[in-house]
A and B are shown apart, each in its own frame.
Chain A
Amino acid sequence: MKPEAYTSRSAEEAAEATGTGGAIRLAGRRSILGEAVDGLRRNSLMAAAATVTMAVALSVAGWGMIVSANLVHVAGVLESQVEVVGFLRRDLGAAESKRALAAARAIPSVRSAVLVDRDEAMRRLGRTFGSLARVSKQLPANPLPDSIEVRVSDARHARAVAGALRGVAGVDEVMFGAPVVDRLVALTRAVRLAGAGVAALLAGAALLIIINTIRLTVVARRQEIEIMTLVGAAPGFVRGPFLVEGALQGLAASAVATAIMVAGYSAVAGGVTRSLPFLPILEPRAVLPEAVAAIWLLGAAVGFAGSLFGIRRFLGA
């Protein structure tokens, strides 16, 4: 042990000057991103475990969004079936019928309106009730009236549309199955709420799992953080690499979750469409882009925020 007074020398000079144990090899100085990547490499096993956990949590959240989107879609499809029918007076001429149709189309919340003449109505009756077709042929004249079939843009407005249609000149009677529509509106509202609830619940669970996972990785490296703070590292210097690490883990987990969601939903949607064609399930391209974007955003943001909260307790002094 022969300590000398410290004098500044270049790294090269110092390396050459060694006579006690060869050149000193030091890891190179890095940017915050480099430090973050190095931190992940040094703690690769824990980082991998955390990333897989986050990927699973993000996948669950992603599936929550997909299920929610499909429930909303089913509710929309059911509501789009709601129809208000206005039966026209029998003495109406063609010009008056067209005026009534134009008036119906002008009613707010009307998505579409078509004129169904009495012959078409009879044909439909025949298709629906085959035996009635034979009976109708024995009638002296077609007893059915012309009608205007109205589709509403929002089932909740069906009652208001029916009221307005009653006021249209030439309309004799209006039918829209009020009790059924009321029940349908209540049902679709519940379905929408359930969809949002499922998505929020799973996203919340994913959030807690991810934040906790990242906090555990930060806690496991508390000695490193403690040493940094005790030798005088500025909080930003300590925090920076950890935040970038968290965001990188979040993004890696998002990539894995994306693969799981895309492959899984494509298979599920294809299977359902083939075996249950009447079920109105969303096409993958209609739901996946939004869900995937949300997962990537959630992954990076939660990874970042998890690190921030995790490290805060060690930087509190």
Chain B
Amino acid sequence: MIHFDGVEKRYPSGVLALQGVSLHIEPGEFVFLVGPTGSGKSTILRLVQCIERPTAGCVTVDGTDVGTLPPSQVPLLRRRLGVVFQEFKLLPDRSVADNVAFALRVTDVEPAEVVPRVRWALETVGMAHRANDPPARLSGGEQQRVCLARAVVTRPRIVLADEPTGNLDPDAAWQIVHLLGTINLRGTTVVMSTHNPTLVDVLRRRVIALHAGRIVRDETRGLYQPLG
């Protein structure tokens, strides 16, 4: 589903964010990306979304070579991805339902499909009862659930979550991870970057650890820190 082969990413400022990164994520996997700030976690997620292009090596997402993808094709790739942000990125002047529907409206989804899909996504994250409220009336955890609904409403093959629990209390963080697990059980590939050791250690999913732009550990049922 996601393949990195000898990927290097050097930003125009000269910063080398990734070097020699090779990883293969199969369909339906749940993967934690861990590592200190600046280790390259977010760069991996940005490469998958084609926000950045690799400076060397090859990135393939759902069969698409990101490095050579023409700009006109980038939106089509992104429609196959769902993205959850640490800072939610909900539009404050639109209702919860409109925020979720936003992801459908900007793509080519049939108008008749919009309401049932929004309802399904909000029911999936347990937020259907707040559909007509503005985001400002929601707690942080609720806002992140809405963000998750927006990510899955397009029925993506991959969900990318960049520190989705970073701004949440422990209970809300668990709710989000539980929801991501539920989405993963349906066959959606989930890649989540996190600094939260408890979540990683309790769930025991695949862990890819990065340091200074290199993969230093890749374990099928890993922990946040290496044993010993």
**Chain A residues close to B by CB (< 8 Å):** 1-11, 13-15, 17-18, 20-22, 24-27, 29, 42-43, 223-224, 226-235, 237-238, 317
Contact = CB atoms under 8 A, between A and B. Distances in A.
Interface stretch (B2-10, B55-63, B108-116, B192-200): B108-116
B153 to A, nearest CB: 9
Contact of B113 (A8, A20, A42, A238): A8
Contacts, number: 122
Contacts of B94: 27
A235 B75 contact: yes
A17 to B, nearest CB: 7
A317 B51 contact: yes
A222 to B, nearest CB: 11
B97 to A, nearest CB: 5
Interface stretch (B15-23, B28-36, B126-134, B163-171): B126-134
A315 B107 CA distance: 16
Question: What is the interface of chain B mostly: helix, strand, loop, or mixed?
Answer: helix
B79 interface: yes
Nearest to B83: A230
Q: Which of B79, B101, B120 has the most CB of A within 10 A?
A: B120
B120 A21 contact: no
B118 A26 contact: yes
A26 B114 contact: yes
A232 B106 contact: yes
A42 B94 CA distance: 9
Contact of B123 (A2, A22, A232, A235): A2
B171 to A, nearest CB: 14
B103 A231 contact: yes
A170 B27 CA distance: 106
Q: Which of B118, B119, B130 has the most CB of A within 10 A?
A: B119
Contacts of B124: 1, 3
B174 interface: no
Contacts of B103: 231
B49 interface: yes
Interface residues of B, number: 52
A235 B179 CA distance: 31
B75 A24 contact: no
A89 B102 CA distance: 92
Interface of B: 49-51, 71, 74-81, 83, 89, 91, 93-95, 97-98, 101-103, 105-107, 111-120, 122-126, 128-132, 150, 154-155, 179, 182, 186
Given A6-B155, A10-B116, A233-B106, A24 B123 contact: no
A223 B115 contact: no
A14 B102 contact: no
B118 A9 contact: no
A103 to B, nearest CB: 72
Given A11-B112, A27-B101, 9 more contacts: A1-B125, A1-B126, A2-B123, A11-B114, A26-B98, A230-B78, A232-B81, A233-B107, A234-B75
A15 B81 CA distance: 27
B93 A42 contact: yes
27 contacts: A3-B125, A6-B116, A6-B117, A6-B120, A8-B116, A10-B112, A11-B114, A14-B116, A15-B115, A21-B131, A24-B115, A24-B118, A24-B122, A24-B131, A24-B132, A25-B97, A25-B132, A26-B115, A27-B94, A29-B111, A42-B93, A223-B91, A228-B102, A228-B106, A231-B79, A232-B75, A238-B106
B75 A224 contact: no
Given A21-B130, A223-B91, A231-B102, A26 B97 contact: yes
Question: What is the interface of chain A mostly: helix, strand, loop, or mixed?
Answer: loop
Given A27-B94, A232-B154, A237 B118 contact: no
A13 B106 CA distance: 23
A20 B107 contact: no
B217 to A, nearest CB: 29
Contact of A21 (B71, B89, B102, B128): B128
- Top 4 closest pairs, chain A to chain B, by CB: A21-B129, A233-B106, A232-B79, A1-B126
A266 B49 CA distance: 59
Contact of B128 (A18, A224, A228): A18
B15 to A, nearest CB: 18
A227 B120 contact: no
Nearest to A21: B129
Contact of A18 (B49, B81, B119, B182): B119
Contact of A227 (B71, B77, B102): B102
Contacts of B102: 227-228, 231
B97 A24 contact: yes
A107 to B, nearest CB: 66
A22 B179 CA distance: 23
A9 B119 CA distance: 10
